[in-house]
Amino acid sequence: MIEAVIFDWAGTAVDYGCFAPVQAFREAFAHYDVPVTMEETRKPMGMLKRDHIRTMMKMERIATEWKRVHGREATEEDVEAVYAQFEPKLFSILKDYSSPKPFVLETVDTLRKMGIKIGSSTGYTDAMMDIVVKGAAKEGYSPDFWISPDGVGGKGRPYPYMIFENMKVLGVSSVKNVVKVGDTVSDIREGVSAGVWSVGVIEGSSELGLTQEEFEQMSPEQKEKECCRVEQVFRKAGADFVIDNLSQLPALIRMLGK
């Protein structure tokens, strides 16, 4: 019997396509004359933001380019320098990226009527979440609990501790009774690490990397191809299930409850 569903935030519950952090990361690296691609930026998505930058710095092309531009390999001080650029850029735009994605409000309402608690985890910090949580609440989305890596000693995804904290606060009896829903490889790995059901959502995900308009304008063949690509990524990361969008989640929960 499923007792709780733990949603990710950006790209899963809010911010269709997860564009706020992508924009800020790319501008932060560009400030140091090392342009990064959309694909490079999205690869570590879902991690604590300093860990995200650290991971990008270790990517072969970025590491080589950093050394070429700056004459040395990137250091922990460089990670902090890029983060110092990233954080204010993100803060300046977060309020515009807190609207719930399609099907979120209806799905959460349905799950609550089924007696299921709504938890959440994120790669954002507490200060970032203060903006996002308030913005989402104004538009009708308020989970029963949220926590950032700040609340678990900085040990964000793929560590399982944010999920465990959700379980503790929400009073969930077993990891077998929890579903984690996310839109990135980091989300999937978080669920796997915790031993809960791990579900990837395709439409509006960071992994898909499209705006709602871009996705809707694609041909059925293009949609199928891209959705299959994202599903394979999630499956490879260990997802138990992959859904197109959140409207399909209640049926999945009912299936798991049998």
Give the residue numbers marked as catalytic: 8, 49
d(CA 103, CA 189): 24
DSSP state of 147: B
DSSP state of 121: B
Which residues on neighbouring strands pair with residue 7, listed in sequence order?
120, 181
3-state percent helix, strand, coil for the chain, nearest multiple of 5:
55, 10, 35
Which residues on neighbouring strands pair with residue 65, listed in sequence order?
none
d(CA 78, CA 100): 34
